[in-house]
Structure formats: structure tokens, C-alpha cells
Amino acid sequence: MAKRIAIVGGGAIGAELAKSLEASATVTLIEQCSHYVHAPAMIRAVVEPSILDQALIPYDTLLTQGTFVQARAVSIDAGGVQLNDGSRIDADYIVVATGSENATPFKPKGADIAGLRADNARIHEMLKAASTVAIVGAGAVGTELAGEIAHFTPEKKIKLISSDATLFPQMPKRLGRSLEKKLVAAGVEVILGARAMNLENMTEPYAGVLELTNGQSVQADLIFPAIGSRGSSELLRALPDVKMGTANRAITDQWMRPSSLPNIFAAGDVAEMGDAMTVVATTRQLPWLIKTLKTVLVGQKIEDQKPYTPWKKAPILIPLGPFKGNSFLSLFTAGDFLTRQIKGKDLFLKKRNNFFDRN
Ligand SMILES: Cc1cc2nc3c(=O)[nH]c(=O)nc-3n(C[C@H](O)[C@H](O)[C@H](O)COP(=O)(O)OP(=O)(O)OC[C@H]3O[C@@H](n4cnc5c(N)ncnc54)[C@H](O)[C@@H]3O)c2cc1C
């Protein structure tokens, strides 16, 4: 009998894994949402809601041999996954790919895709009405958001606030310097080395006044918190011998196992194994996971397989609207042209929809 694999979470890594393994095992993909949320497009969608229809992709065309179950997993054990409707999926192997949460309106709250659409429409209206916008946090999401708003609505006064002394301090200096220059040229005020002391909400945009550690007061009609993702690790926390890392992620061993149960794996944002919380990380984890699970499915010992090694110098692409931006492509830093060609012009929407057989 074919081995059974249950994959919990159909995000960037879970959806691809399910499709890649459905011919090799009895695959069940358990996902709470009706639609795949293509996060890289959700930043521009705040300014250009018309792209939302391509960014939210129904799951019904994803699998041809495997089974898609729309449900919330409430617990896992060595033999399977318990669902919120009271049913259970028995499995020989389980991959937890429950990802992470982020701010409104970038990711849904739980399974609420209609709510995500409503939040997108509401925040878009707030943005249209705003003259001044402040973004707290200048990671990829905050920096891209500043660039998108500046590109599509250049009349707005935008302030991008970061407690770091430079943009992208972990990356080669050129990346941050060049992005800062382009943002400033587009009219964005980049405030570095200052922390917002009174951020009222970590996940919901709001109107208010920010007090910064450099003494500045920033009044804004719309303040976007952009302070990073938090792993959705509730299922993993309940497993034996789990160690939690940073940002609510569960630490895995070299074979992507987060607990002492040898047949349960975790990957993507929920799992800490030396990679950042990015789709880019999942593109490295995925081939390892597919190859390793296939060998385990035919009876080989996982400890005999090559352990996973994380990115040493992961690439990062930061478009500032559809035409500008900078990228670090592991070997070199690229400018407007490559950033636009690879990501900025369509934010991988065509590729994602092709993957779901939707074009
Ligand atoms: C606004 C934004 C823009 C981004 N842009 C980029 C980018 O341009 N490039 C890049 O590399 N990275 C980007 N990222 C990061 C990227 O989106 C994540 O790293 C990636 O989605 C992680 O994939 P994942 O499969 O681990 O988790 P997710 O994509 O978060 O998917 C997890 C899935 O699990 C489901 N789930 C959770 N709990 C349960 C449960 N109990 N039962 C059933 N289903 C459950 C969720 O509904 C979700 O569909 C961005 C993130 C954000 C927030």
C-alpha cells in the first residue's frame, strides 16, 4: 500500500510539496483557507486592489491525484492529524507547513479570505484618503510598501521608520544604500536609527502620532506596522521535546524534524533551521524535502540521507513599484532592470497562477 503523507498548510511550501509528491504517495493537503494567498503581491494590492483576484487563488485546481481538505488542523500525533470538524487524517508522515501571521491586510486572519478582501478594501480607502503615511519597520515588507505607495500615489508624504542605522544592515551595504537613495528620490523620508516608542497596534494600520526615540513626533493619517512575521506554531508546541526559537518558530534538527517524533517534519516560516522567513527560503528547502521524503517513502533511513543546509547568502529582491528597486542575487547586487524583470513587473503572479493551472 502507498505510504500516506499529510501536509498541514498549503502556503508557499505546502502547496508545492503536495503537488510534487502526489504521484509518489497518498497525499492529503490540509489547508484552512479556500484560496492560496500569494504574499509577494499583497503589498502592491494595498495600492492596486485590482491585482487581488490574481493574488488569491482557489485551491480546487491544485491537486489531481492527492486530496485537498479544507479544514483547520487542531492537533497532530505520530499517527495523524485531528481536524476542527472532528474528523481525522491518518498518516505515515506529516509535514507541518503552517507558516506565519503578519499584519493586516497582508495575510488572512485564520481562514477568513472574505475578511482579507474586506480589510484590503478598507485599508485601501484609508490610504486613498491619507495625506501622510508612516511605516514602522523597514524590512522587505516596509521598504516595498513605501516604494509602492510612492510610485502609485507620489503626492502622499511617506515616512519609513527603522531602528537600524541603515536599510538591510545584514546585506551588502550597496543594497541598502541604493534603496535608500531611490526612496528619497521618490519623496520618501527615511528615518533611520529611531524606534517608535508608542506603536499602538502591531498588526492593524491606524491613524495617530508616533513618538520616536530620536525625539521626533510623527503624525500620520495612516500608520502601517511592518515589524515582521510570527510563526503559526501552535500544532508543533504540543509535540514532545519541541524547542522554540525566535519569532514563534520551532527549531528543527538537520532533517527538518521539530520534535522527538521521527515521522513529523516542519518547513517554511514555522520552522527555524537557519533560513529567513521567505519564499526564497522555501525554494531551497523544497527540493531537499521532496528528495528526502521520496527516499524515506521507499524505506530508507532518514539519518542516512544528506542533512539540510540553509542558505549561506540568500537572495532578496526589493521592488519599489513596478519599475525600480534593488536586489541581492547571492553573487552581486542588481538594480532597476533585473529587479523589475524578475519580480517588480508582475510579482510572480503569472508564475503562481500557472502553477495552479489558472492562466
Ligand atoms: C506581505 C508579505 C510579502 C512577502 N513577500 C515576499 C517576497 O516577495 N519574497 C519572499 O521570498 N518572501 C516574501 N514573503 C514571505 C513569504 O510570504 C513567506 O516566507 C512564505 O509565505 C512562507 O511560506 P509557508 O508555506 O511557510 O507559510 P505560509 O505561506 O504562511 O502558508 C501557511 C499556510 O498554512 C495554513 N495554516 C496555518 N495553520 C493551519 C492549520 N492549523 N490548519 C490548516 N491550515 C493552516 C495557512 O492558512 C496558510 O495557507 C512575504 C510575506 C509577507 C507577509
The string of DSSP letters for 306-322 reads PPP---SS--EEEEETT
Mutate to test the pocket of ligand 1, among 32, 270, 283 (most ligand atoms within 8 A of CB): 32
pLDDT at residue 1, as a whole number: 81
pLDDT in tens, 140-164: 999 999 999 999 999 999 999 999 9
Does some domain include residue 90?
yes
Domain closes at, from 163, 195, 227: 227
* Exposure class string for 4-27: b at 16+ Cβ within 10 A, else e: bbbbbbbbbbbbbbbbbbbebbbb
Residue 69 has pLDDT above 80, yes or no: yes
pLDDT at residue 323, as a whole number: 98
pLDDT in tens, 18-39: 999 999 999 999 999 999 999 9
Determine the structural domain holding residue 196 and report its residue range: 114-227
pLDDT in tens, 315-330: 999 999 999 999 999 9
Does some domain include residue 168?
yes
Which residue has the CA at smallest separation from atom 35 of ligand 1?
Answer: 9
Residue 293 has pLDDT above 80, yes or no: yes
pLDDT in tens, 195-214: 999 999 999 999 999 999 99
Q: Are residues 125 and 176 in the same domain?
A: yes
pLDDT at residue 180, as a whole number: 98
Instruction: Let me know: does 207 contact 223? Beta carbons within 8 Å.
Output: yes
Does some domain include residue 356?
no
Share of the chain above pLDDT 90, in %: 99
- What 3-state class would DSSP assign to 240? coil
Q: Does the beta carbon of 98 sit less than 6 angstroms from any atom of ligand 1? A: yes
**Gap from CA of 359 to ligand 1 centroid (Å):** 22
pLDDT at residue 334, as a whole number: 98
C-alpha cell at 167: 536599510
Question: To the nearest whole number, what is the mean pLDDT of the chain?
Answer: 97
Cα dist. 46→100, 107, 295, 328 in Å? Answer: 20, 12, 43, 25
Does some domain include residue 299?
yes
CA separation for the pair 354, 135 (Å, rounded): 33
pLDDT at residue 266, as a whole number: 98
Domain closes at, from 200, 227, 254: 227
- Closest C-alpha among 320, 102, 49, 56 to residue 224: 102
**Gap from CA of 299 to ligand 1 centroid (Å):** 31
**Residues listed for the chain:** 359
Cα dist. 139→118, 293, 350 in Å? Answer: 25, 33, 25
Q: Are residues 11 and 88 in the same domain?
A: yes
CA separation for the pair 229, 12 (Å, rounded): 15
Confidence of residue 295 (pLDDT cuts 50, 70, 90): very high
Q: Are residues 119 and 217 in the same domain?
A: yes
- CATH number for the domain including 171? 3.50.50.60
Q: Number of structural domains, the chain?
A: 2
Does some domain include residue 22?
yes
Partners of 31 in the β-ladder: 70
Q: Are residues 205 and 238 in the same domain?
A: no
Q: Are residues 172 and 95 in the same domain?
A: no
CA separation for the pair 352, 358 (Å, rounded): 9
Domain closes at, from 169, 193, 227: 227
List, in order, residues 6 or more apart from 112 with CB less than 8 Å away. Answer: none
User: Quick one: angle between helices 173-185 and 140-152, nearest 10?
Assistant: 30
Q: Are residues 130 and 222 in the same domain?
A: yes
pLDDT at residue 340, as a whole number: 98
Does some domain include residue 66?
no
Mutate to test the pocket of ligand 1, among 20, 31, 120 (most ligand atoms within 8 A of CB): 31
State the DSSP string of 36-103: EE-GGGTTHHHH-GGGHHHHEEEGGGT-SSSEEEE--EEEEETTEEEETTS-EEE-SEEEE---EE--
Which of the pair, 359 or 66, is modelled with greater confidence?
A: 66
pLDDT at residue 346, as a whole number: 98
List, in order, residues 6 or more apart from 357 with CB less than 8 Å away. Answer: 61, 62
CA separation for the pair 93, 28 (Å, rounded): 11
- Closest C-alpha among 107, 116, 20 to residue 62: 20
C-alpha cell at 140: 522587505
Q: Are residues 287 and 145 in the same domain?
A: no
Confidence of residue 359 (pLDDT cuts 50, 70, 90): confident
pLDDT at residue 275, as a whole number: 98
Q: Does the beta carbon of 83 sit less than 6 angstroms from any atom of ligand 1? A: no
Q: Does the beta carbon of 32 sit less than 6 angstroms from any atom of ligand 1? A: yes
Residue with the three cell numbers 537557519: 274
pLDDT in tens, 215-248: 999 999 999 999 999 999 999 999 999 999 999 9
pLDDT in tens, 50-68: 999 999 999 999 999 999 9
CA separation for the pair 149, 188 (Å, rounded): 9
Q: Does the beta carbon of 277 sit less than 6 angstroms from any atom of ligand 1? A: yes
Q: Are residues 223 and 233 in the same domain?
A: no
